Structure 1
Amino acid sequence: MVKSRARAFVQLVALCVTAGVVLAAILFPFAGGAGLAANRISDTIEAVPGDLANARLPLGSTVLDRDGNPIAYLYDQDRQIVTAEQMSPYLRKAIVAVEDHRFYQHNGVDPQRSLKAVGGFIAGESAGGGSTLTQQYVKNYLAYVLARDEAGRKQAMEHSPARKIREAKLALELESQLGKEDILTRYLNLVPFGGNIFGVKAAARTYFSTTPDKLTLSQAAFLAGLVNKPSTLLRDPVEAVKRRNIVLERMVETGFLPEGRPAAEQAKKEPLGIVQPLNTLPNDCGNTPGGTTTGFFCGYVLDYLAKLGIPKDEIKRGGYTIKTTMDPKATQAAKEAAEGEVAKDTKGIANVMAVVEPGKDRHAVRALAANRDFGVDPAKGQTAYRLPSTITRFGAGSIYKVFTAAAAMDSGVGINDQINVPKTYTSGVYKGSGNKPYTVNNASDAGDTQMTLQDALAQSPNTGFVILEEKAGLNKVVDMSVALGMRESMKSVNRGGERPDPEAKDTSLRVSQEQWIKDGKIGSFTLGVTVTSVLELANVGATLVSDGTWCPPSPIDQVLDRDGKPVDIKQPPCDQAVESALARSLAQGLSKDTISGTASKAARDARWDRQMLGKTGTTQIHQSAGFLGATPQMAGAVLTFSDGDRPRPICDGNRPFLCENGNIYGGKVPARTWFEAMKTVHQNLPPAQLPPADPRFE
């Protein structure tokens, strides 16, 4: 062992001295140049970590639905680790024969190959070649594991004696810690095989739709020849056959093919047999079968994990298994319902739905869907925007009256109390455009001038809720919207919300929706004029039927690391948004919308027979409309809005279309979408009643 280490050290010194002199002669021809070159090389070596023996290669991650089916793969390098026993012996022998036939004789550095490389450099040729498999492993490790960008990769692959010295030093260190078979296995798991294909398992699947242990002699020889020339060989089938045959010849010449020349000659006669199309693994959200449906959910998973400290670039290299809460049945039902009401190629109109399962310890997101497919081709009805989970620029209309009702109830109003609902009302508190008095009208001149709060929630008169907003206080109504679930929406920057700030260098200061509404005394808040997240609307329903317990709308069931161990992700805790008695009473207050209110026709047409809370909403110029509904078992929200570059009102005909004066309402497309989807979602759930109202809030 001592003699072996001494011989290896001599080899390294010889290479370093030779390469150092060459480098000094070329780059530093003046006196003292050789010493400067040596110092730079030493610095390079010291800067390289010495933990190659414990390397953890980049691995892609898999996102699963609640049933364990993949909905997305995410990777920088398509790689799966396999053991030596899971590799064909042909492959291991082929790679040694063609790349380093003295692999089992040297200690990581082969003097003959090294001197050949240095000689080539002196002759003005590339310094490539001459590397042992161990040195190649080091080079690839530096390029594809440590380097995180193209600049770092080029630096790791540069042709220079300095790189050779670095590789030699690390190769000797590696061979002092690992056996030959272990190094060879690691090499075959690490190296690229063209494009994003790394390691033999991905290569065997991609090119031959097989596993590494089942590779034939011909297939193994092709992959061994592919390692250092993937771009050339994949472009030119003739060259690929030639390269495969060269590998077979090298196996015979070096004794790495026990069956001898007859086996090689037989393998040469075989076609390459590369599958067409290549069996590549889909990458990123939306690229799996059905990904146009599940892509929205996948996107929300990435956004959610990024906020918890696991960014996308870490997911693409960390080898995680991400078990999500996505229910494929609910997702498909929501997708079909959304597209059934608004075809995916409908110009300028999006129909979006989110479904959340209530609970007192978590609110699991079950479905995120839209009439649009998830993708990048608008001509095919696709969008890459996360429509169901992002904050849209349109409001939810009268759905926001839920927050005014909650604030009023918290101030002492009961659901059976009579409230004033005049046909027209001019506020003495809020101002309209141009600093004029804020005047609001009801959608219809017919009807009573007084009704119970419960009936008002079902009939949705505007005037009554502006009056309630005045009495409860706008700030309290806004705070209630945040408490019940509109947390990200209200934190978002107001789309037109620039507030003069004389102390700032800029002429304006951007503010949140919450601050803009409070500071500006925006009385129309109760009419749902601000930007809205469909997912957060659904979660408001989940909060109300969870006895007032708010939980973050979570898409995550569990995250496992590459070793199958749970990752501790600290999701935001649940909190009691409102007291249970108020939540139960408000749910009862919202229970007449599907019986005698604005959603009753849609409920009847769908033959809906379950008790639920519901609230429709429509913005004033009909550019958006929505519906929020929840049973004790499931909550959901739908928003239909103009999603073109130049939003226009929406008309509801046999199929919705953009028009000059809209007539869409929350009880039309949005409610119909909700009931169609939720009939399927509730199919196997037993009937459940909403809890009774508390006497204090009746």
Structure 2
Amino acid sequence: MSFPRHLARPIGLLLGLGLLAGVVVGGMAFPITAGLGLIASDTGDSVNTVSADLVDGPLPQTTTVTDSAGAPIARFFEQNQNRRSVTAAEISPAMKAAIVAVEDRRFYQHQGVDWQGTLRALAANSASGEIQQGASTLTQQYVKNYMLYVAAETETERLKATEQTPARKLKEAQIALQMEQSLPKDEILTRYLNIVSFGNGAAGIASAARLYFNTTPDKLTVPQAALLAGMVNSTSAFDPVRHPQAALERRNIVIQQMRDQQMIDEAQAQAALATPLGVAEPLVPQPNGCNGAGDAGFFCKYVVEYLTEAGFSLEQLNRGGYTIKSTLDRNVLQQMKAALDAEVPPKQPNVANVMSVVAPGQEKHRVLGMASSRTFGLDAEELETSYGLPYEPVNLGAGSVYKIFTAATALEKGLGINYQLTVPPSGYASPIYTDGGGRPLPVANSGDYAPRLSLTDALAQSPNTAFIKLEEFTGVPPVVDMAVRLGMRSLATTPFVDPGTGRPTDRSIAEVTKAQNLASFTLGVSPTSVLELSNVGATLSSHGTWCPPSPIESITDSEGNPVPVTEAPCEQVVEPGLADAMVNALGKDELPGGTAARAAGEVGWNRPMSGKTGTTQQHKSAAFLGFVPQMSGAVITFDNSRAPRPLCDSGGAPFPCRSGNIFGGKTPAETWFGTMQPLLASQPVLPLPPVEDRYLEGGAESRVPDVIGDPENEAREELEEAGWAVSVRSVDNAAERGTVVGQNPNGSALPGETIELSVSSGTVPPPPAAPGEDDDGDDGDGDGDDGGDGDDDG
């Protein structure tokens, strides 16, 4: 046999490959051992060690995050590797036929390497001096694509996977031959269609069918399949969007080849040739990551960060093909977003309104939704942000919502929710509320209050002086610890920022607050996560059981097998009775006299709930935490600029101003009720839990004997024997002289507190003066405030 001189070199190489492969070329059998070692792989694999196992691993696949109903929220994949592998049964016969017709017409005859086709291609290419015909089979192309997209981990390896060298060709041929011995043809064809790129970021036939035709691969028609098969040769040259005429001509060639190879008849061919390209306008891409999640963007980002902390790597998420079913309730998200935007439009300068909702539970706290008035995205000029506003700590704090932690600590130390708190007047100088140098600072109230209020009424009306006074009894460190236990976990991990330098220190907020005995903690000056604040309500609603606010319902791998997620275990952080008592103690905020009453009245709220408003000093932020047995939600409205200013909230959207007047009972509470009222409309009205007597009236250590009606000496003796200090004042009263006619406090008191006895003088007081006109200018509502919520935290 003799060959023309210009074909001698390429055919010599072909014969060398044939010798190494041990196949029949031109009717001559060559032993597989002949010539071994003549060519070695540049990647370090000798010819003897090359194995089909190199291409037998899983393909990179797209991970899908869904909502609680299973509808997709977002997808994660490596660049240009948006792939969902499908089975052979999920690919239309037309698609299989089209790719075989144009890329490897002898696919069902050869054994992995088409030696006849290779000879023909070598001759054609050598005669023309350029590449006119390809020689690789679909099996070989699969090997090359696998080496490029899966096996290669570095840019160097990716370059080697596509370089035109005899070593690489030999390696592909050997692996292809081995694959054909172990896998059926249909499996190889399916693997190829799952891995090959179809351009515009579509990897694999499932992504391509969706991108170009908004369909699934099992429904691809002959003209659609022919278009996609034709693009494999050059996804750029035959891009139907950029080059529709070239794509049409290429598609028609594929149709004609399908006809010539008797895959379709003449009538089918003519019908397909007459069909327009039919590409979707615009294309139907699948955005990569949370930027394609819309209003669920913040929730999506929280899912990623939550899984990262649980041990998942970004590479796993981008390649693993997981289905992550989240806890997101679309209805919750929609109602929440509508309420947030109604109060603060997305493009309102410098103001953000953020909210998170968590479902209580003894075994899991599910995050039902989180959102912001700010649009999730990367376009700063459009006031978009990708910062985790609904779950990252807000530096401006939550104001008097933190009084919850002081109250809970007081209950744990023996008080009950009926305890009568002392309410010092505005300007009270507490020995623990100082300027840092030991000098007491005056504590301000917003409005006038009775000198004593029950703990329940104090939480509803929110006098600052009462809770600073209560904190003198509880101590600051236990209050901080209570906050962390109930759900404010980031306080124990977020570095404290030095106010002098503005730089983070090596100690946490909780550590510094306790070490410096910062009594302002009860007034909510610490950076606060809205999600964690919402989870505090879920903890109390769960009878004192804290669980991490989880966005994950389940995870399955690409084969549908469950994948475990490492989550922090639930903890019983306070006694169930204490938690139930706090649920009740917070049950008056929406009632007349409570700081959220106005917002509740605007929506006609008529079910039991627990709530607490908060406003920070200078009105730079305001907050509301509210919860019912079914769900807990928290809202913070704040100036999110780099140099926050006070916010004014005088009708319309809040805006930065010189002297603020925003309160937790305004925009935050209005957002909460605007979200919850429609969400709960179809939910049953559930009562608040009963309160144990211990947490209603206090423990034995706080009980004060009732001595009213006793002689002064006997009353003093009984109280002192019970460990109480006693003071006496004389009052005009008709009772026998020396009889105790009043005591303050009565029922329970702070340990160490002095009990004041009112002892009768035996003198009847004079009759009251004649009635006169009330001209004190009071508005008659008894709250003495200025229309706010009583949370000016001084």
Same fold (TM over 0.5): yes
1:72 is displaced (CA, Å) by 2.5
- SS of residue in 2 equivalent to 1:598: coil
Question: Does 2:252 match 1:232?
Answer: no
Please list, as runs of the form range in 1=range in 2, the aligned pairs for 1:519-558 lying within 5 A after superposition. Answer: 519-558=515-554
What residue is the counterpart of 1:146 in the other structure? 151
Question: Does 2:190 match 1:185?
Answer: yes
Q: 1:304 to 1:127 in 2, by over 3 A?
A: farther
Q: Distance in 1 between matches of 2:467 and 2:478?
A: 14
What residue is the counterpart of 1:27 in the other structure? none
1:210 is displaced (CA, Å) by 3.4
Q: Distance in 1 between matches of 2:164 and 2:440?
A: 74
Q: Distance in 1 between matches of 2:345 and 2:281?
A: 34
What residue is the counterpart of 1:79 in the other structure? 83
Q: Distance in 1 between matches of 2:274 and 2:128?
A: 39
Please list, as runs of the form range in 1=range in 2, the aligned pairs for 1:66-465 lying within 5 A after superposition. Answer: 66-76=68-78, 77-111=81-115, 129-148=134-153, 152-234=157-239, 235-251=242-258, 255-257=261-263, 259=265, 264=269, 267-287=272-292, 291-422=293-424, 423-429=426-432, 431-432=434-435, 435=437, 437-444=439-446, 446-465=448-467
Query: 2:411–2:578: 8 Å Cα contact kept in structure 1?
Result: yes
1:14 is displaced (CA, Å) by 7.6
Query: 1:550–1:577: 8 Å Cα contact kept in structure 2?
Result: yes
What residue is the counterpart of 1:662 in the other structure? 660
Out of 539-548 and 408-417, give the one that drifted further.
408-417
Out of 507-516 and 57-66, give the one that drifted further.
507-516
Query: 1:498–1:509: 8 Å Cα contact kept in structure 2?
Result: no
1:515 is displaced (CA, Å) by 1.5
Q: Distance in 2 between matches of 1:346 and 1:116?
A: 69
Q: Distance in 1 between matches of 2:618 and 2:58?
A: 57
Out of 565-574 and 330-339, give the one that drifted further.
565-574
Q: 1:401 to 1:249 in 2, by over 3 A?
A: same
1:531-570: CA deviations, max 9, x gaps? 1110110110111121111111112222222222322223
Q: Which amino acid aligns with 2:662?
A: I
What residue is the counterpart of 1:691 in the other structure? 689
Q: 1:490 to 1:49 in 2, by over 3 A?
A: farther
1:246 is displaced (CA, Å) by 3.2
Question: Does 2:618 match 1:621?
Answer: yes
Q: Distance in 1 between matches of 2:48 and 2:416?
A: 75
Query: 1:286–1:292: 8 Å Cα contact kept in structure 2?
Result: yes
Q: Which amino acid aligns with 1:696?
A: R
1:157 is displaced (CA, Å) by 2.1
What residue is the counterpart of 2:669 in the other structure? 671
- SS of residue in 1 equivalent to 2:188: helix
Q: Distance in 2 between matches of 1:46 and 1:412?
A: 80
Q: Distance in 1 between matches of 2:310 and 2:663?
A: 38
Out of 563-572 and 47-56, give the one that drifted further.
47-56
Q: 1:286 to 1:489 in 2, by over 3 A?
A: farther
Out of 439-448 and 490-499, give the one that drifted further.
490-499
Out of 557-566 and 572-581, give the one that drifted further.
557-566
1:90 is displaced (CA, Å) by 3.3
Q: Distance in 1 between matches of 2:127 and 2:397?
A: 72
User: TM-score scaled by structure 1?
Assistant: 0.88
Please list, as runs of the form range in 1=range in 2, the aligned pairs for 1:12-51 lying within 5 A after superposition. Answer: 20=39, 38=40, 40=42, 42-43=44-45, 50-51=52-53
Query: 1:432–1:438: 8 Å Cα contact kept in structure 2?
Result: yes
Q: Distance in 1 between matches of 2:587 and 2:278?
A: 65
Q: Distance in 2 between matches of 1:218 and 1:292?
A: 34
Q: Distance in 1 between matches of 2:183 and 2:590?
A: 71
Q: 1:140 to 1:420 in 2, by over 3 A?
A: same
- SS of residue in 2 equivalent to 1:597: coil
- SS of residue in 1 equivalent to 2:605: coil
- SS of residue in 2 equivalent to 1:626: strand
1:197 is displaced (CA, Å) by 0.8
Larger-Rg structure: 2
- SS of residue in 2 equivalent to 1:156: helix
What residue is the counterpart of 2:594 in the other structure? 597
1:186 is displaced (CA, Å) by 1.3
Q: Distance in 2 between matches of 1:383 and 1:95?
A: 44
1:13 is displaced (CA, Å) by 6.8
1:657 is displaced (CA, Å) by 1.0
1:417 is displaced (CA, Å) by 1.9
- Of 605, 610, 620, the match for 1:608: 605
What residue is the counterpart of 1:579 in the other structure? 575
Q: Which amino acid aligns with 2:637?
A: T
What residue is the counterpart of 2:731 in the other structure? none
- SS of residue in 2 equivalent to 1:238: helix
Q: Distance in 2 between matches of 1:445 and 1:222?
A: 75
User: TM-score scaled by structure 2?
Assistant: 0.78
Query: 1:498–1:511: 8 Å Cα contact kept in structure 2?
Result: no
Superposition CA RMSD, Å:
3.1
1:189-210: CA deviations, max 9, x gaps? 2111002212223222322233
* 5+ long unaligned stretches in structure 1: 21-37, 501-506
Q: Distance in 2 between matches of 1:666 and 1:440?
A: 22
Q: Which amino acid aligns with 1:71?
A: I
Out of 388-397 and 614-623, give the one that drifted further.
388-397
- SS of residue in 2 equivalent to 1:218: helix
Q: Which amino acid aligns with 1:397?
A: G
What residue is the counterpart of 2:753 in the other structure? none
Q: Distance in 1 between matches of 2:43 and 2:130?
A: 21
1:44 is displaced (CA, Å) by 6.7
Question: Does 2:623 match 1:643?
Answer: no
1:297 is displaced (CA, Å) by 1.9
Query: Aligned pairs, how many?
Result: 666
Identity of aligned residues (%): 47
1:616-668: CA deviations, max 9, x gaps? 11110211100011122221111001112332111002221111111101111
Query: 1:585–1:694: 8 Å Cα contact kept in structure 2?
Result: yes
Q: Distance in 2 between matches of 1:647 and 1:696?
A: 44
Query: 1:427–1:437: 8 Å Cα contact kept in structure 2?
Result: no
Q: Which amino acid aligns with 2:250?
A: R
1:156 is displaced (CA, Å) by 2.1
Q: Distance in 1 between matches of 2:371 and 2:535?
A: 15
- Of 50, 59, 62, the match for 1:60: 62
Query: 1:12–1:168: 8 Å Cα contact kept in structure 2?
Result: no
Out of 513-522 and 88-97, give the one that drifted further.
88-97
- SS of residue in 1 equivalent to 2:248: helix
Q: 1:203 to 1:496 in 2, by over 3 A?
A: same
What residue is the counterpart of 2:10 in the other structure? none
Q: Which amino acid aligns with 1:86?
A: E
Q: Distance in 2 between matches of 1:687 and 1:578?
A: 26
Q: 1:284 to 1:478 in 2, by over 3 A?
A: same
1:580 is displaced (CA, Å) by 1.0
Query: 1:498–1:508: 8 Å Cα contact kept in structure 2?
Result: no
What residue is the counterpart of 2:778 in the other structure? none
1:600 is displaced (CA, Å) by 1.7
Q: 1:47 to 1:218 in 2, by over 3 A?
A: same
Q: Distance in 2 between matches of 1:292 and 1:266?
A: 41
Q: Which amino acid aligns with 1:87?
A: I
1:104-132: CA deviations, max 9, x gaps? 33322234555788897999978994322
* 5+ long unaligned stretches in structure 2: 1-18, 698-794
- Of 477, 480, 485, the match for 2:479: 477
Out of 111-120 and 306-315, give the one that drifted further.
111-120
Q: Distance in 1 between matches of 2:410 and 2:186?
A: 74
1:216-257: CA deviations, max 9, x gaps? 33322221110130112112122212322333444455x353
